[in-house]
Amino acid sequence: MQRETKICIIGAIIAVFLQVVVAPNIAIFQVMPNFLIVYTLVVAMLFSDDSVLVIAFVLGFVSDLLGYGPVGSLAFLLVLASFFASRAHAAFANGTVLMPLVILMLFALVVDVLYAAFLLGLSSNLNPIEAFAYRAVPCALYDCVVGLLLYPLLSRLLTNSQLQMKSVSRLR
């Protein structure tokens, strides 16, 4: 197993822990951040490995099994979002932090809105205005705030660790 895959798996376990333990405790007006969406998008932009798609599917499936929505819907959305976010990052990244954050915010909004559409289509007791205005958009904004904190942190940690590993291997 590659080093990047191990890092992704450990981060995914931490993201699930944060989603289960921390997210309900920092909810504002019943709006929780989704650490799994943010982590998946950040990892998809930092690593271009196919294992990211597997991690996206597993994290979405875990979220659905935890009872946050219909089984398979977030797994499907995270696989699509991580694939397209990875491609968008490869095409538009210019070495600054701005473009990855814009891509992260855009795809977090798309995933939350499409997830609300899934919930709306599969549930008969939801109001469309309530689903989008009171759940999808605030959740997307909360995810963007978490992403604004998580992306620079993870990119810095992972970039520094990769540079240190390369410099150590050159000395040998």
DSSP string covering 18-77: IIIIIGGGG-BTTB---HHHHHHHHHHHH---THHHHHHHHHHHHHIIIIISSTTHHHHH
Of residues 25 and 127, the one with the higher pLDDT is 25
How confident is the model over 3-25, as a mean pLDDT?
89
What digits encode the pLDDT tens for the residues 24-64? 898 888 888 899 999 999 999 988 778 889 999 999 999 98
Quick one: pLDDT at residue 167?
43
What digits encode the pLDDT tens for the residues 129-145? 877 887 888 888 999 89
Indicate the pTM of the whole model: 0.86
Quick one: pLDDT at residue 109?
92
What digits encode the pLDDT tens for the residues 100-117? 999 999 999 999 999 888
| Domains by residue range for the chain, with CATH | 3-171 (1.10.1760)
Task: Output the average pLDDT for the chain.
Answer: 84
